[in-house]
Each structure stands twice: as structure tokens, then as C-alpha cells.
Amino acid sequence: MKYMLIGLSFLSLTFNAFALSAEDIYSKSSFAILHLTTNDSAGKYWHATGFFVGKEGLVLTNHHVIDDIDGIVGKSQSGNEYIGFKLLYSDKNSDIAVLKVANIQKNDTYLELASDEKKYSIGNDIFWIGHPSGIEKFSFSKGYISQIKMKENVELLQFNGVAYHGSSGSPLLNSDGEVIGIIHSGLENSSKNVIGTGLGSGRNNISEVLDRALNQYPVNTISEATAEPINEITASATISESSENARTLVNTEPKNDLASLIRELKAYTPPSEVRLGSK
């Protein structure tokens, strides 16, 4: 489904004298972000983003990232690798999935959801960390909220800024480094080029999906083998920048050869709406 670009209506910008600097937001948040690599039954590998929320090892990403996959592995900026993911809950409508790992490893951290009292509005600054095209990992970006609207009970946050393939599942952060949304797609023009407008589901949808997950699997029981496990990707299949079998998305086409992928990335001009992550 194509989202139509709409005129921007700027509301009042809330000024927070105690807001963190962009550098502080990145420092506070980057070690809660995971670079996710998944594979499917056709043997293709895909890149996306996930992030820890809360200290119990819960990981948020998109429904379309984990839908119909055979395996998944996560890696943090500190170099820690995560396997043994369990799927607790996934909601196709809001495109949010809740995963679980055994624990958050040393040097990694987690993000917190912004409280209900912290309202956000059009014009507010917004930040995100993702893995554009699967190559530029833990990339930090800044924009602002350009529109907020409801569609089929989903709060859609429209923001300015290019969110490339590989950014699916990236957290949208406020000026305190707290989560107010999760990226799931971006706008694309008639030439299939990604333009500088992204879309995410809002904090209320995240809270609802987390509540459903934890109602089904209370925190004190989710370490047990009750949730649906997702296979790990073997070490030999894990994507790396030196792998001859690296695959990612540029202009929605999978690439098998790393050299040709890098050449296309260098020549790639950010273009306008598609699912951004992996598939």
C-alpha cells in the first residue's frame, strides 16, 4: 500500500531545557541496538534492526522482519552475539514483534519507553539508529516528526529523513533517548527510489504489543521453553562484509556478490514507500 505524502502542519515545538545532546543520545542508546541477520527457506539472508527494551532481554523489531524466517542472529555494537531468540508475540497490523533472549550480555544495555506523560507532537526532534543497507551498521540519524495520524488503530509517526533498507525495527527516540516509536517503512516514488520520509508505529502500539506478550508470557516464566523458539543461523552462514554470499537490499533487489553490491551502494542516490528492513 502506498502512503500519500501530505502537507506538513507544524504545531508548537516543545522545548526541553534538559534535553540530551545528539552525542549523548547516541552514547546512551547505541549499545541497546542489535544488527539482525535472518535467513529464509530460499537461502537468502536479510538485514534489519532490533533493540532491547527493559532489562529482561526483550527485543523489539518488526513483524515483517521475523515473518516466515528460518533463522536469526543478532549482534550488538560491543561485539556480543545473540542466538536462541524466542518469539513471544507478533502483531501484523502494527508491524511489531517481541522477541526474547536469555539475557543482556556485558557492555550492552536497554532502552526505555517514554512515559505517557511525555507527549510528542509535530515538529519535535526525533532520532534513530539502524543499519542502512546492512553495510553501514549502527548509523545515527536525526529528523523531526512531520505528521501523526491514526490508521486502522495504529498510530503512524511520519518523520523526515531517509530510512534505508536495513532500518526496519529501528527505535524512534525523543530528546531524552526514550522510545516513542519503531520504524517499519518509508516512502518511495514512482521510480522505486526511497525519499526522505519514513514511517513508524507509535509508543502506544508498542506498549499494547508488549502488554500482550507479557500477559501471555510473564517475565518470571519466559526463560522457560514455552515461547516459540527461532533457529539460530550457523556461524558459517552469518553475514559479514567479507562474505562472498552477502545479500542485502538496494532498490529492492537482492545481491549475491559483495563487490557488485558495494559498487551499487557507492553509486546509489537516496531517492520515495516500502518496507525497509530485510525483506
| 180-216 per-position pLDDT tens digit | 999 998 776 655 555 567 889 999 999 999 999 998 8
Instruction: Tell whether 221 is covered by a domain.
Output: yes
Mean of the per-residue pLDDT values for the chain?
A: 76
Instruction: Tell whether 197 is covered by a domain.
Output: no
The DSSP-derived string for 162-193 is: ---TT-TTPEEE-TTS-EEEEEEEEEE-TTS-
Instruction: Tell whether 42 is covered by a domain.
Output: yes
pLDDT tens column, 30-62? 999 999 999 888 888 889 999 999 888 999 999
Query: 139-171: string of b/e by CB count within 10 Å (b at 16+)?
Result: bbbebebbbbeeeeebbbbbbbbbbbbbbbbbb
User: Residue 224 belongs to a domain with what CATH number?
Assistant: 2.40.10.10
Which residue would you say has higher pLDDT here, 136 or 197? 197
Which residue would you say has higher pLDDT here, 100 or 246? 100
Q: Which residue range forms the structural domain that includes residue 91?
A: 32-110+207-236
How many domains in the chain? 1
CB 196 within 8 A of CB 183: no
Instruction: Tell whether 225 is covered by a domain.
Output: yes
pLDDT tens column, 69-84? 989 999 999 999 999 8
Instruction: Tell whether 13 is covered by a domain.
Output: no
**pTM, full prediction:** 0.75
